[in-house]
Homo-oligomer: A and B are copies of this chain.
Amino acid sequence: MPESTPFSTLSHLECPKCGAQLDAAVVQGTCSCGSPLLARYDLAAARGMAVAGREATLWRYHEVLPVASPSAVISLGEGMTPLLPLPVHGKRLGVPDLWMKDEGLIPTGSFKARGAAVGVSRAAELGVRGIAMPTNGNAGAAWALYAARAGIRSLIAMPVDAPVITRAECVAAGAELYLVDGLISHAGALIREALKQRPDYQDVSTLKEPYRIEGKKTMGYEIVEQLGMRAPDVILYPTGGGVGLIGIHKALDEMREMGWLNPETRLVAVQAEGCRPIVDAWQAGATESVAPAAPTTVAFGINVPKPLGDFLILRALAETSGTAVAVTDEELLAAQQELARDEGTFVCPEGAACFAALVRLRESGWLNGGERVVVLNTGTGVKYPDTVRVSVPTVPADGALPGPR
Binding site for B on A (CB under 8 A): 53, 56-57, 74, 76-77, 80-82, 84, 88, 102, 104-109, 145-151, 155, 157, 160, 164-165, 167-169, 171-174, 176-183, 186, 190-191, 193-194, 197-198, 336-337, 340-346, 380-383, 385, 387-390, 392-401, 403-405
Who on chain B is nearest to A386 by CB?
A: B168
Selected contact of A395 from candidates B81, B179, B393, CB within 8 Å: B179
Query: Is B344 a contact partner of A392 (Cβ separation < 8 A)?
Result: no
Query: Is A190 a contact partner of B399 (Cβ separation < 8 A)?
Result: yes
Total identical chains: 2
The answer to whether residues A382 and B193 also contact, given A105-B77, A177-B392, A346-B173 and a CB cut-off of 8 A, is no
Who on chain B is nearest to A109 by CB?
A: B382
Query: Is B395 a contact partner of A157 (Cβ separation < 8 A)?
Result: yes
> In the complex, A143 Cα to B349 Cα: how many Å?
22
> In the complex, A102 Cα to B164 Cα: how many Å?
23
Q: Taking chain A's interface residues, is the majority helix, strand, or loop, or is none over half, making it mixed?
A: mixed
Pairs A–B under 8 Å by Cβ, sample size 5: A149-B344, A168-B381, A169-B340, A172-B346, A173-B346
The answer to whether residues A179 and B108 also contact, given A84-B76, A385-B168 and a CB cut-off of 8 A, is no
Name the B residues within 8 Å of A106 (CB-CB).
105
Name the B residues within 8 Å of A167 (CB-CB).
390, 392
Name the B residues within 8 Å of A145 (CB-CB).
340, 344-346
Query: Is A341 a contact partner of B381 (Cβ separation < 8 A)?
Result: no
Name the B residues within 8 Å of A191 (CB-CB).
401
Name the B residues within 8 Å of A405 (CB-CB).
176
Name the B residues within 8 Å of A392 (CB-CB).
167, 171, 177-179
Selected contact of A107 from candidates B105, B186, B385, CB within 8 Å: B105
> In the complex, A203 Cα to B383 Cα: how many Å?
30
Q: Which residue, A56, A155, A399, has most C-beta atoms of chain B within 10 A? A: A399
Selected contact of A172 from candidates B53, B74, B82, B337, CB within 8 Å: B337
Name the B residues within 8 Å of A177 (CB-CB).
390, 392
Selected contact of A76 from candidates B181, B183, B345, CB within 8 Å: B345
- Closest CB of chain B to A121's CB: distance in Å? 12
Query: Is B107 a contact partner of A109 (Cβ separation < 8 A)?
Result: no
